[in-house]
Amino acid sequence: MTTSAKTSTSRQRTSWKQDPEAVKADILRVARAEFAAHGLSGARVQDIAEKTKTSKRMIFYYFKDKESLYREVLEQAYNDVREGEKALELENLDPVEALSKLVKFTFSHHRDNEDFIRLVMIENIHRGIHLTASETIRSGNTPAVDQLKEILERGREMKLFRPDIDPLRLHWKISALCFFNVSNEPTFTRVFGDEIVSQEGQRKLKEEIVRTILNSVLAVPVSGS
Amino acid sequence: MTTSAKTSTSRQRTSWKQDPEAVKADILRVARAEFAAHGLSGARVQDIAEKTKTSKRMIFYYFKDKESLYREVLEQAYNDVREGEKALELENLDPVEALSKLVKFTFSHHRDNEDFIRLVMIENIHRGIHLTASETIRSGNTPAVDQLKEILERGREMKLFRPDIDPLRLHWKISALCFFNVSNEPTFTRVFGDEIVSQEGQRKLKEEIVRTILNSVLAVPVSGS
Amino acid sequence: MTTSAKTSTSRQRTSWKQDPEAVKADILRVARAEFAAHGLSGARVQDIAEKTKTSKRMIFYYFKDKESLYREVLEQAYNDVREGEKALELENLDPVEALSKLVKFTFSHHRDNEDFIRLVMIENIHRGIHLTASETIRSGNTPAVDQLKEILERGREMKLFRPDIDPLRLHWKISALCFFNVSNEPTFTRVFGDEIVSQEGQRKLKEEIVRTILNSVLAVPVSGS
Amino acid sequence: MTTSAKTSTSRQRTSWKQDPEAVKADILRVARAEFAAHGLSGARVQDIAEKTKTSKRMIFYYFKDKESLYREVLEQAYNDVREGEKALELENLDPVEALSKLVKFTFSHHRDNEDFIRLVMIENIHRGIHLTASETIRSGNTPAVDQLKEILERGREMKLFRPDIDPLRLHWKISALCFFNVSNEPTFTRVFGDEIVSQEGQRKLKEEIVRTILNSVLAVPVSGS
DNA sequence: AATGAATGAGCCTTCATTCAT
DNA sequence: GATGAATGAAGGCTCATTCAT
């Protein structure tokens, strides 16, 4: 887990001590899971502490209080997602493929990061008040929107895409479909069964979302979405 | 301490008493607002009681415990929404107009029933476990899907719509876009500003969603969504 | 302790229950001693609870929080002292004797109510902020000042007292000497020994204070203080 | 994370370091204010540290624990006040003027050293147990009493003062009046208004206290106090 | 001589819930 | 049917202090 250096330190037990960053990271990791699982008020500091390599006391030592810890968890979650988006390499693909890949990535990325989705849901329940402070999050300059803008420009120049597409609104639409797929799965499944949540259902849904988005931007839409 | 002069006014004061249904309805009304505002664990029985015409004790008397109250609130919320959907009269409209109207209605209906949206979010946070019990909710026979099915059939017969559209998946897509619009407004606005949430932004968004949905089903799609 | 009525109640254990006033009075009694002994921040709710017939939980049930409990203790202490002052009957004494008796009473009353003195000291450490709320306390119409005013008027009419004595300032002087005697006994004794705090020392001190006060008001002062 | 560029500025930054006495004095200065403001249990080591040029850790390093720090603060406060009293030069004044000046000085000195007054109050709340250790404080040979003794002797020789005046008891009376004026100002003001605490009220009070004290000792008392 | 990191013990308070009639 | 009084269990958080170098 932690870097092994600290050669001179004799005792094993204290290997992770004296390394505040490691302790903080450990707490954040556990806290993210707990907050995602139970919400801000539902999560228990005690429970977080018990799943940590340190004590409840340390949580307050490093993060001041429960709410601040939650804030940092949220911020870190947002940043992690953005880092993930950056890794996509779309520059060498033609616009249609690039957009297609971006949508598929978003779909799968959301699917694979349920904790992030849940944290965002929870934060929306709190009306987003804990997002206020973080300047990096609020900038609006997300990799996803930047990439979309670039793809749309290239597509427009090649006369493939309509010229009046707003990158932010397109991002909104992609997000809505990919986010809802994860966020509302529990209730949707209870009410309508698992047709959509099944493996085959998800495969079809992903394709359908790609088609829907493509049709939104194509100068000459194709049938079927 | 305890004034005894209660005899003459007892009738007046207790007019709403002796009417268990009225008391329960009052509690449910307040509880719905509180649960929608703060979630299941975030809501306080105390706070609910204080906004009620009766006492905290009565909440437990009528609803057993907090979770059961939440369950009833949730069930009632679902039922109310379905009642709202039933009121739509789409039979006399041609398929395209009927679908268009249905989407617009869903968009506005969600917008106007934020508490319901929030309750569904909250329930999804809880992985939908409180929806298990209610048989009426789980039937899957929602007015919305029934209406969609009817519209799609008519449209297919008139060769307007593609023949392979699944009503449930279409419902899913409409829901996703209209639900996300309300559920994620707080965080989306914090990150990207109020371009979409503004009055003009919402008007355009509604039109765009209608076009997106129509293009999904039209045999001959039109450009622009 | 509590009134024995409640004949129909079978169990002895619950005799004091169902009598909120008795429970509150019990808590107040214990809390007064604890706050007087350790101050507001120094007193422990736990300790108060343990010396009570009820539990820690009940303290918050009846008094909301520690500070409110302290406030009520303080208020009650002030009221109790005023009740004690009222009991004095000075109307039938000639002015000099009345004043003399009042001073002696104040001296002894303070001596015998160290807890009250300590509470006032503690409240002064807090700059009196907890006295703000109570209207009865702040009225300024204390029995002591009222009685002084009456005595001074009688004495002036009989040409015994100087005509320019302000009752409030006289009250201030009496208070200062009698209060300080109790409040500063610990440090004064540590520094200067127990000459003054001894039984004989206190007897002489009381006489001296009486003479000092009398000389303050007499038209023709006597030698010796 | 940990910048290493410390070499060039290390001398500058640590100018006050390496000087234990300066650090201790700094801590004592801050601690006195905090203890005076909030009492022994009410003061926070954390708060003291934050207003200091050094860290919380150093407080324990130099003073062992909170209580010992308080003890040193208390002792220093007593010594400071005595130093102040020494500065008075009363030898060249006639007894009446000397005594008058001493009282006026005490009145003003107490007024101007509220922190000292509050520390003494606090220590009295603690029943003076922290004064035990300090031998210098307990000697009883305070400048104030010494000066009083000298003045009384001169006054007695000149037949101005009564021969039976005990310097300690006189000191007690002066202290009581001047101390109470500061110590009980908050509660007295809340109850009786600011008649006495006002600037004019204080001026009159000082005069009255001087007269009261003089009348205590004069062989031929004058009317009016 | 000096200090950053860590902490056990205990604090006040709140929670949903039950007791007892 | 209805309710005022009471509460066990746990909650988040803070305190002065020590560990380890």
A180 close to A81: Cβ distance less than 8 angstroms: no
D131 close to C190: Cβ distance less than 8 angstroms: yes
pLDDT averaged over chain B? 89
Which nucleotides of strand F come closer than 7 angstroms to any CB of the protein? 1-21
B160 close to B95: Cβ distance less than 8 angstroms: yes
For chain A positions 14-53, those within 8 Å of chain B (CB to CB) are 38-42
Q: How far is the C-alpha of C222 from the C-alpha of C215, rounded, in Å?
A: 7
* pLDDT at residue B143 in the model: 87
Section A46-50 average pLDDT = 96
* pLDDT at residue C4 in the model: 36
What is the tens place of the pLDDT at every residue in D70-100?
Answer: 999 999 999 999 898 888 989 899 999 999 9
C7 CB-near residues (< 8 Å, 6+ apart): none
Sign of the C-alpha dihedral, residues D169, D174, D177, D178? negative
In this predicted structure, the answer to whether residue C148 has a pLDDT above a threshold of 90 is yes
Largest Cα separation within chain B, whole Å, is 80
Of A28-37, B85-94, C147-156, D113-122, the range with the lowest mean pLDDT is B85-94
What is the tens place of the pLDDT at every residue in A124-181?
Answer: 999 999 997 667 776 767 889 999 999 999 999 999 999 999 999 999 999 999 999 9
B219 CB-near residues (< 8 Å, 6+ apart): A223, B159, B160, B161, B162
Question: In degrees rounded to 5, what are phi and psi of residue C218?
Answer: -65, 140
A36 CB-near residues (< 8 Å, 6+ apart): A114, A115, A116, A118, A119, A122
Residue of higher predicted confidence among C96 and D17: C96
In this predicted structure, the answer to whether residue A14 has a pLDDT above a threshold of 80 is no
In this predicted structure, the answer to whether residue D17 has a pLDDT above a threshold of 60 is no
For the question of whether the overall pTM of this predicted structure is more than 0.85, the answer is yes
Residue of higher predicted confidence among D224 and C150: C150
As beta bridge partners, residue C218 has: C161
Residue of higher predicted confidence among A150 and A6: A150
Section B48-67 average pLDDT = 96
Top residue of A146, A192, A213, A218 to mutate, by most chain B CBs within 10 Å, is A192
* pLDDT at residue C205 in the model: 98
Q: If pLDDT is split at 50, 70 and 90, which confidence band does B142 have?
A: confident
What is the tens place of the pLDDT at every residue in A186-206?
Answer: 999 999 999 999 999 999 999
Q: Give the number of other CB atoms < 10 A from CB of residue B90.
A: 19
Select the residue of C125, C187, C220 nearest D118 (Cβ to Cβ). Answer: C125
Question: In degrees rounded to 5, what are phi and psi of residue B218?
Answer: -65, 140
All structural domains of chain B, each given as residue ranges with its CATH number in brackets, are 20-63 (1.10.10.60), 79-217 (1.10.357.10)
Q: If pLDDT is split at 50, 70 and 90, which confidence band does B1 have?
A: very low
What is the tens place of the pLDDT at every residue in A72-126?
Answer: 999 999 999 999 988 898 989 999 999 999 999 999 999 999 999 999 999 999 9
Query: Which residues in 82-141 of chain A line strand E, with CB less than 7 A from it?
Result: none
The separation, in Å, between residue C170 CA and nucleotide E17 C1' comes to 58
Q: Give the number of other CB atoms < 10 A from CB of residue D48.
A: 22
* pLDDT at residue B18 in the model: 63
Q: Residue for token digits 């002052």?
A: C85
Helix (H) or strand (E) holding D155: helix D143-157
Of B8-22, B131-145, D83-97, the range with the lowest mean pLDDT is B8-22
For chain B positions 166-225, those within 8 Å of chain A (CB to CB) are 168-169, 171-173, 175-177, 179-181, 183-193, 195-196, 204-205, 208, 212, 215-216, 218-225
Does the CB of A118 have a partner CB in chain B at under 8 Å? yes
Q: How far is the C-alpha of A211 from the C-alpha of A99, rounded, in Å?
A: 10
Q: Give the number of other CB atoms < 10 A from CB of residue C82.
A: 15
As beta bridge partners, residue D218 has: D161
Q: Which tokens in the block code for residue B50?
A: 């204080």
Section B97-109 average pLDDT = 97
Select the residue of D125, D172, D223 nearest C196 (Cβ to Cβ). Answer: D172
* pLDDT at residue D132 in the model: 74
pLDDT averaged over chain A? 89
In total, chain C counts a number of residues equal to 225
* pLDDT at residue A140 in the model: 67
Q: Give the number of other CB atoms < 10 A from CB of residue D200.
A: 9
The DSSP symbol for D92 reads: T
Share of chain D above pLDDT 70, in %: 88
Q: If pLDDT is split at 50, 70 and 90, which confidence band does D220 have?
A: confident
HSE-up (13 A, CA, CB side) for residue B4: 0
Select the residue of B137, B181, B220 nearest A191 (Cβ to Cβ). Answer: B137
